Amino acid sequence: MTMKVKILYFAGLREAVGQAAEELELPAGVATVGALRAHLAARGEAWQALAVGRNVRAALNQKMAAADAALAAADEVAFFPPVTGG
């Protein structure tokens, strides 16, 4: 069974990867937010902005999500840098 999710990129991440959003069919073994992030980071240089160790937050269906949050078909995953107020 294939699973497709919508991915949104915000702020500096959008600039780094050159797109604001995409729909992606998840490969086997990519079942969590953290695994999706690692899969995307493996795409190459620009995608290293999502690499583990970088300060990136994730939201799953508009709620903050930890790396171990499970993905389901038609989920929306957003990646963004931390936001500071002022």
Distance CA 35, CA 67 (A): 8
How does pLDDT run across 53-84, given as a tens digit for each residue? 889 999 999 999 999 999 999 999 999 988 75
User: What is the length of the chain?
Assistant: 86
* Distances, alpha carbon 23 to alpha carbons 5, 49, 67, in Å: 6, 19, 19
Between 26 and 2, the more confident residue is 26
Distance of alpha carbon 25 from its chain centroid, rounded?
A: 13
The answer as to whether 30 is a domain residue is: yes
The answer as to whether 35 is a domain residue is: yes
Residue 24 is part of which domain span?
Answer: 4-80
Integer Rg of the chain from CA? 12
How does pLDDT run across 16-44, given as a tens digit for each residue? 999 999 999 999 999 999 999 999 999 99
Query: Where do the H-state alpha helices sit in the chain?
Result: 11-17, 33-41
**Number of structural domains in the chain:** 1
| CATH code at position 29 | 3.10.20.30
The answer as to whether 56 is a domain residue is: yes
